[in-house]
Amino acid sequence: MTANSSRHAFFLRSFTTNESAIRAYVRRLLPSRADTDDIMQGVALVLWAKFEQFREDGDFRSWAMGVARYEVLTWLRDRGRDRLVLAGDVAEMIADETAIDVAQLEQQRVALQSCLEKLTPKNRSLLLESYGSELMIQEVAASSGRSIAAFYQWLHRTRRLLLDCVQHEVAR
């Protein structure tokens, strides 16, 4: 393996290990999952382009989050003016305060898996369908026999239940 490909493998390893945490960090600051996908692709590009500046013994996640932070805040500033987005100062506070460690995030996700299993199969599948990109939310709502408004209410309630459950599971 050449030095270049070795460096590339190291990048891939670091990125794949931390991608979930970085994605969650970006999502916390952006209004939609689609925006998050766009920004994440840009972040990956920038990280690779700047990877030469990264020291091998450095903290990849902190470095990557710093890059993501800059990308997101720039996006909010440039494209967020006419959109329903977090105010710049609020986004900065959240960016600074919620860079939680991966262990905690993973703990929550393990708990989430357990909590999802506690939903009825029908409700679990309905929830995940509403998060998938295959169907419009209107179609998911219709398949559940609810109006759009009632479906959003159901979503809110289910999220609250999951958050409570995750908190409970993590505290066990």
Partner 1 sequence: MPQSPINDLEFLINRYVDGQATIDEMDRLNELLRAATKARQIFAAHLNLDSALAEIAAGLSGEKAAVEDIIVLNRNAIFSNAAAYCATAAALLFAVSLGAWWWISHSRQHDHDAQLAPSAEPWTAPKEIVAAILIDEAGAVFSPGKGPQGTRFEAGDYDLLSGIVHLRFARGAELVLNGPAHWTVKDEMHAFVKHGKMRAIVPPSAKGFTISTPSAEYIDLGTEFGLDVDRNNGSSDLFVFDGQVNVTDKATNEVVEEVLEGASTRYVAGVAKTAPDFHSRNFTTPNQIGLIRWQEYARKMLPSPGLIAFFPFHRTLDDSELANQVEAKESAALRVSNGRIEGARWTSGRWPGKDSLLFDGDDEFVQIDVSGEAKEITIAAWIKIDRLDYEMNAILNSDYGDDGDVHFQMTRQGLLRGGVQGGETNDTLIGEPLALGNWLHVAMVISVPDRMRWVYANGKLVRQGNLQREVKMTPGSCRLGNWLPVVGHSKRNRAFRGRIDELAIWDRALLEFELLQLAQEGRTSLR
Sites for partner 1 among residues 104-133 (CB under 8 A): 105-106, 108-110, 112-118, 120, 123, 127-133
Show the site string, 57-96: x = touches partner 1 by CB under 8 A, - = not. Answer: ---------------------------xxxx-xx--xx--
**Least gap, CB of 57 to partner 1 (angstroms):** 21
| Interface with partner 1 in residues 8-47 (CB under 8 A) | 8-9, 12-13, 15-16, 19-20, 23-24, 27-28, 31-33, 36, 40-41, 44-45
d(CA 19, CA 40): 9
Are 28 and 98 within 8 A, CB to CB?
Answer: yes
The per-residue b/e assignment along 123-154, b for 16 or more CB within 10 angstroms, e otherwise, is eeebbeebeeeeeeeeebbeebebeeeebeeb
Number of residues lying near partner 1 (CB under 8 A) = 80
d(CA 141, CA 126): 9
Among 5, 52, 55, 57, binds partner 1 (CB under 8 A): 5
**Least gap, CB of 31 to partner 1 (angstroms):** 7
3-class DSSP assignment, residue 136: coil
